[in-house]
Structure 1
Amino acid sequence: MSSITKTPPPAVHYPDSDGQPMADNTLQFEWIVTLQGNIDLMFRDQKDVFVAGDHLIYPVEGNADVRQAPDVYVAFGRPKGHWGSYKVFEEDHVFPQVIFEVWSPGNRFTQMEDKRDFYARYGAEEYYIVYPEFPAHLDGWLSKGEKLERVENMNGHFSPRLGIRFELQRGNIAVYHPDGRRFLSYVDLGALQHETQTRAETAEQHAEEERQRAEQERLRAEEARQKAERLAARLRELGIDPDAV
């Protein structure tokens, strides 16, 4: 009786890059970095929240053609780390719950609709498109059943998962942390840090100047006290009661 040896199927390769640029222009890039950085900062102390930008998601094991690389995504319940792609089937089948795309002139509406269908199919709970060019605007969708339904008014909208708030101000987009602080770009964060450091150094310098003035006053008072004691001693030597003078 002959035995038949089965050849195992070839291992599937999941590339870490789709060959597409991260951004088509500097404005889109700035928004991607700002969103990813601020959200990552929000959850820096939570070990089970993974935040990534321009990162491939593979939802189906064995099929490397089914994939998307959102501009920014957030996966709750998954550990922080550094890896080439996000394979849902290796992440306890947790699909990222919040997805952001930042519009650029190279995007097509049909392409964005296909992406939204993809994210809805595999389990995204929130999907946002940021249109940063003036006059800027926002689109958002929230999961309802197996579908993503459009948010009627994004001005003042709170993300259920993230707790962040979106606003439209004079043709520009503003995003706020749950504590009310505005999302800042890397440059703005650097400028704020520099300003804060400068203020701290100035306050420290003023405190040191006050300490030196207080020390000088103490020394003058001590010198006056010693002078008075010397005068009193001299008066006593002359037989004069200094308290009676």
Structure 2
Amino acid sequence: MRNAVQDKVIEYPDSDGMPMADNTLQFQWIVTLKEEIGVLFRDHPDVFVAGDLLWYPVEGRPDIRVAPDVLVAFGRPKGYRGSYRQWVEDGIAPQVVFEVRSPGNREAEMNRKLRFYDTYGVEEYYLYDPNRNTFAGWRRTHTGFEPIPDINNWVSPRLGIRFELHGEVFTVTRPDGRQFLTFDEMDTARVLAEQERQQAQQERQQAQQERQQAEREQQQAEQGQQQALAQAEQERQRAERLAAQLRALGIEPEV
């Protein structure tokens, strides 16, 4: 006979009831990292990127869960998910996770997340504190998680992006050299790019008009030259006829 535990349907909630971010600065960085990494792997159908998505690593244990600010899972298709249930994802754990710390995050909570990511197979874990402007990272070795000692200018083995921390400026750079941008910065960049595109189009149109004008002037010059040559030929033929008439009268025309 089946017992009550076997008959019970296990639920894996899509939300833990916690807010995605505690302040606008934390939210800005979460969205920037998630969206820019998503754009970076936009053409890779087997790379799944999500933000604030509950990850359940163990089937039958909905109490074992965490919602990374950003997770990246290689070998998993894109698409909607209410949560990341690892046994449904061919047993693949997210290889890369990011946490953006807020003033409300306590050390005990951050240490718990570090142990969680170490226990359940994350390859790269990055922690950024935008309020203190500090950045740290851990990577998996044969003995487990190890801190990345020289994190400045570190390039993620999985993502290929570079992290740089200079004074109060933290930048993340794509493999092609372009920096990660916030929504506001991307919008400004789009406006500038559109302005440059319109200006380039106007310059092309002006160049085309100037080229067409030059072609018209050249055609007019060629037509004038042809008319002058035709008129000269007519004058020559008239002179020859006149000379022939004079010779017929016994008069030798003057040269």
Residue 63 (structure 1) aligned to one of 56, 61, 64: 61
Q: What is the aligned partner in structure 1 of residue 104 from structure 2?
A: 106
Q: What is the aligned partner in structure 2 of residue 87 from structure 1?
A: 85
Counterparts of 1:230 and 1:77, CA distance in 2: 75
Contact 1:49–1:76 under 8 Å retained in 2: yes
Q: What is the aligned partner in structure 2 of residue 161 from structure 1?
A: 158
| Structure 2: tracts of 5 or more residues without a match | 239-255
Higher helix share: 2
What is the aligned-residue RMSD (CA, Å)?
Answer: 1.8
Q: What is the aligned partner in structure 1 of residue 195 from structure 2?
A: 198
Residues 1:72 and 2:70 aligned together: yes
Aligned positions of 1:95-134 closer than 5 A: 95-133=93-131
The aligned amino acid for 2:44 is Q
| Structure 1: tracts of 5 or more residues without a match | none
Q: Deviations over 1:136-163 (max 9, x none)?
A: 1101111123531111121111212112
Residue 175 (structure 2) aligned to one of 164, 171, 178: 178
SS, match of residue 51 in structure 1: strand
**Aligned-residue offset at 1:107:** 0.6
**Normalized against structure 2, the TM-score is what?**
0.87
SS, match of residue 142 in structure 1: strand
**Aligned-residue offset at 1:238:** 3.8
Identity, % of aligned pairs? 45
Q: Deviations over 1:53-76 (max 9, x none)?
A: 000001111121111001001111
Contact 1:101–1:129 under 8 Å retained in 2: yes
Counterparts of 1:188 and 1:37, CA distance in 2: 13
Residue 222 (structure 1) aligned to one of 219, 224, 245: 219
Counterparts of 2:221 and 2:197, CA distance in 1: 36
**Aligned-residue offset at 1:237:** 3.6
Q: Deviations over 1:52-100 (max 9, x none)?
A: 0000001111121111001001111111111110001111111111110
**Aligned-residue offset at 1:231:** 3.4
Q: Deviations over 1:82-129 (max 9, x none)?
A: 111000111111111111000101110110000111111111111111
Q: What is the aligned partner in structure 2 of residue 24 from structure 1?
A: 22
Counterparts of 2:76 and 2:143, CA distance in 1: 22
Residue 136 (structure 1) aligned to one of 133, 136, 142: 133
Contact 1:177–1:183 under 8 Å retained in 2: yes
Counterparts of 2:213 and 2:156, CA distance in 1: 58
Number of aligned pairs? 237
Counterparts of 1:5 and 1:152, CA distance in 2: 53
Contact 1:54–1:70 under 8 Å retained in 2: yes
Structure whose CA Rg is larger: 2
SS, match of residue 118 in structure 1: helix
Counterparts of 1:220 and 1:40, CA distance in 2: 54
Counterparts of 1:23 and 1:6, CA distance in 2: 41
The aligned amino acid for 2:103 is P
The aligned amino acid for 1:211 is Q
| 85-94 vs 227-236, which moves further | 227-236
SS, match of residue 181 in structure 2: coil
Counterparts of 1:221 and 1:228, CA distance in 2: 10
Compared CA separation, residues 209 and 150, structure 1 to 2 (3 A) = same
